[in-house]
Each structure stands twice: as structure tokens, then as C-alpha cells.
Chain A
């Protein structure tokens, strides 16, 4: 499933990471030789984690469709574990929670792997939505019932349904783009994550005006505008590896970087409400899987549907 374009993109990302690692080491030698500067230490931890994430993604691309589907099924599992740790549920929900992890999640990815679009696009919003509350109701506890079932459904929508739209891109059929769908995934993740990184960089350099001071102290208008525009510019420059014309690529990049920003905002609101800073601890420097994936999760379904609607024949 490798194509020359994918190798170019991976080589480019590898180059960026080599540069970032060198800069991180220089900053550490100058400013934090004994590990005393937490910002520098966090930056280096983030860069190291990026290496691991990029290598995992590259290995999945090499393994082909099964590899990519499996990787995102595992990401969904880790994300769902983080999300449901913070939601309201009691003993009566035990079986519905077990079903979320061991029935609904595998089924969603199974429908995806068998390319059953009619099923995977409604399975969680319709079937899980209607049947899961029944499992909780049968156990008889009514306390906070609506809150419990809504939060569980939200967790499934975000962590399983939306996340599964990343590998779903592999199953679109775009005339003239056959065998290269993996580029769509690499492109989506690259542009959205680049936008995250650039929003962070622009925000640290110029950030003054907070977008939503109650939600997140690190999201500024300067970071938002600088990050989305520069990521859009870089994404547009890469239009030649996508099915899009330059103008279309610019529109798509703007769409997914904005959705990515909204994802970060909404997920911050949830974290703030539950009194936590990070969703988890498994990705050193970044926090949890959801901290890293929130923007991609929000961008993926929209990117998938617009691409399918305009360019795909299926």
C-alpha cells in the first residue's frame, strides 16, 4: 500500500522530526541541562512521542488495510477507556459498558473492514443508541439514567464512531486515485496535527488574546489564525498528492484544521468540567490518546463525507 507520494510525506515528516529533535537537544543543553525547565522537558517528551506515533503509523501503512484498521481499533479502545473512566455510570451499567468495549467497538471495525458502508455509518448512531440503554434499563437502576446513557453514547460516538472514519477513508473509490487512498489518511492526519503543532508554536510566540479563557488558557486567536493558515498553506502546497486541485485542497485544509480546532475546544470543555488536565498518561508529554487525537476525531468524519460526496463513486 506504499506509494511514492506516501514515502515522500513520511520522509518529510521524518525530516521535520530530525530537525525538531536537534532543536530540542540544543534547547536542553542551553536552558535545561539538568532537566530543570519543565517547558523544555515537555517539548522533548512530545518530540520523542511523535517519533513513536509516526513509526506506528508508518508500520500500519506498510501492513496495509488490516494494519490501519487494527491500529485505529486499538486507538479507539484506548480512547474509550480514557473517556469512560470519567463518565457517570454505576453498577447497573456494567453490561452495557462491557458491550461498548467487547461488542460494539469490534463490530464497528468489522463492518468497516468488510466495507459495509450502510452498516458502519449508522451502527452506533442507530443500533447502539437504541439498544444500549435497554441493557442498562433492564438492571433496574433509574438514578441519573439519562445522564448515564447519554454520556456512554457520547463516548461511543467520539471514540469509536468518529475515530473509525479515519480508516474508512481507505474504502472510498476515487477515479484516478485507485490504490493511493492511504494518502488521504496520511494527508488528513498530517494537516490536522501540523495545525495543532503550529497553533501551539504561534500561540507560544505571539499569543495574547484567549479564544475561550474559561476552557483553555493555551488557545489564542493568534495561535488559531496563524496555525490554521500556515497548516492550510502547507497542505495546499501538497495538493499534488491528493485528488484535489489547489483551490479544493485549500478549502479541505481550512475545513479540517477548523474542525480540529473545534475538537480541541469541545474536548477541553469536558476535561475542564471533570477537573482534569489530561485524558490519560500513556503518551509521554502529550497526555492520553484523546489529548492527541481530539482534533483528528473531529475532522475525520467531515473530511470523509465531503470527500465521499464530491469525489468518490461509492
Chain B
């Protein structure tokens, strides 16, 4: 990557972040964990395309530098601009949601990123939730990732209000204050079954919904 592209990526990242602050004045509540640079997997509810931008923006700079969002390759590689933003601005781990089309295993990709020292942002619902329910059923990726690297902290993050800022299908965001609540980390127990773990993770995330 040329110096110019790196500079362009940095500037674009800063601009997107500033815009997100202007619109949502994000407030980070660190309830169960401190904002210190430990390796973590942040898992959050997913109601808007702006979710990872906001989570990324809410992290203090040293944490933000080492944190990579996990995003859908089938969305982010559809145009050169999206590809630039996804790959170079946010340094996303791009995974393919279509099992029949993919050449790489998503869990292996995420594990590789963790092994390089990065923290991750993931949305275990696997798609944007535009239903009335608080959360869609979690996909199994979070469980497999937890199994693969059991020592890494899995931090639940509830993102409130962003679905009202930018409902699915709207183009212009409405400025409203968004709150991000970071909860206590969870880990998978050695012989915990998949469904029990995913239920516990869902529970941990939902518990952050009511503001303290």
C-alpha cells in the first residue's frame, strides 16, 4: 500500500468517525470492563450498517488502532469505494457469508487475525436486525471462535438508538444520541455445549439493554 493510500485511508477514517460523532454524540458506558488495551472480541447487536463505525469510534484511540471489524465480504467488495473503506480504512476481516461460494473458513480467518494480536468486532446475529425482537438468534461463529481461542475476552456491547438514527432503507441520518454499553467479558467453559454458550452470550448482551 502506497503512502498516499495510507494517508487517504487515515483521513477517510477520521472523517467518518467525526461525522459519526456529530450525528450521534456516542456515549460509551464501561460497565463490566475497563477500556484498557487487552485483546478482546467485542460482540454487539446489529441494527444498522453504522454499528461497527460507531463501536470503532467509541473506543479510545489505542484500542481502536488494534481493533478490526469482521464484515461481510459479499457486501463490502461490491464496489471500489466500499472495498477501499472496508479493507483499508477499517482494516476489516472480510468473511464470506455464503457457504457455497467461500474459499476460506470464516472462523479460521478470525482466529488468524486474533493470532496477529488484533481485537475484533463481530455481530453474532450475522445480519442486520430489522424485526421487532431485540436480537435475532446468534449464529454459531461466536461459539467456534470462543472454542478456538478460549483465553480471549468476549465483551458484550449493546448499541442503543442507532436503528432510530438510520432505519434500514433511509439515506439521511437523524441526529440522535447513541449509547454503547460495554459489559463484563464471558468465556466458553471447557465442556459447555454450543446452544448453552450461545444462550449465555445472548443473555449477557440483553442484560446491557436497560441503562444503569
Contacts and interface: CB of A to CB of B under 8 A. Distances in A.
Given A85-B176, A85-B177, A101-B174, A78 B167 contact: no
B177 A81 contact: yes
B175 A101 contact: yes
A282 to B, nearest CB: 6
Contact of A98 (B25, B161, B172, B177): B172
Contacts of A281: 25, 27
Nearest to A81: B175
A82 interface: yes
B100 interface: no
Given A85-B161, A102-B172, A280 B177 contact: yes
Interface string A82-120: 101100010100100110011000000000000000000
A298 interface: no
Given A85-B161, A91-B167, A94-B167, A282 B25 contact: yes
Interface in B101-158: none
A282 B26 CA distance: 10
A282 B25 CA distance: 8
Contact of A81 (B167, B170, B172, B176): B176
Contacts of A85: 161, 176-177
Interface of B is mostly: loop
Interface in B26-50: 27
A77 interface: yes
Contacts of A80: 175
A97 B173 CA distance: 9
A282 B27 CA distance: 9
A281 B172 CA distance: 24
Given A85-B161, A94-B167, A280 B25 contact: yes
Nearest to B175: A81
A132 to B, nearest CB: 14
Nearest to A89: B164
A77 B175 contact: yes
A78 B174 contact: no
Given A280-B25, A281-B27, A282-B25, A98 B174 contact: yes
Contact of A84 (B27, B170, B176): B176
A82 B161 CA distance: 12
A84 B172 CA distance: 16
Contacts of B172: 98, 102
A35 to B, nearest CB: 16
Contacts of A84: 174-176
A3 B81 CA distance: 52
Interface string A57-80: 000000000000000000001101
Contacts of A89: 164
Interface in B150-197: 161, 164, 167, 170, 172, 174-177
A81 B177 CA distance: 7
A102 B25 CA distance: 17
Nearest to A77: B175
A77 B25 CA distance: 11
A101 B24 CA distance: 13
Those 7 A-B pairs whose CB atoms lie nearest each other, nearest first? A97-B174, A85-B177, A81-B175, A85-B176, A281-B27, A91-B167, A98-B172
Interface of A: 77-78, 80-82, 84-85, 89, 91, 94, 97-98, 101-102, 280-282
Interface of B: 25, 27, 161, 164, 167, 170, 172, 174-177
Given A80-B175, A94-B170, 14 more contacts: A78-B25, A81-B25, A81-B176, A81-B177, A84-B174, A84-B175, A84-B176, A85-B177, A94-B174, A97-B174, A98-B174, A102-B172, A280-B177, A281-B25
19 contacts: A77-B175, A78-B25, A80-B175, A81-B175, A81-B176, A84-B174, A84-B175, A84-B176, A89-B164, A94-B167, A94-B174, A97-B174, A98-B172, A101-B175, A280-B25, A280-B177, A281-B25, A281-B27, A282-B25
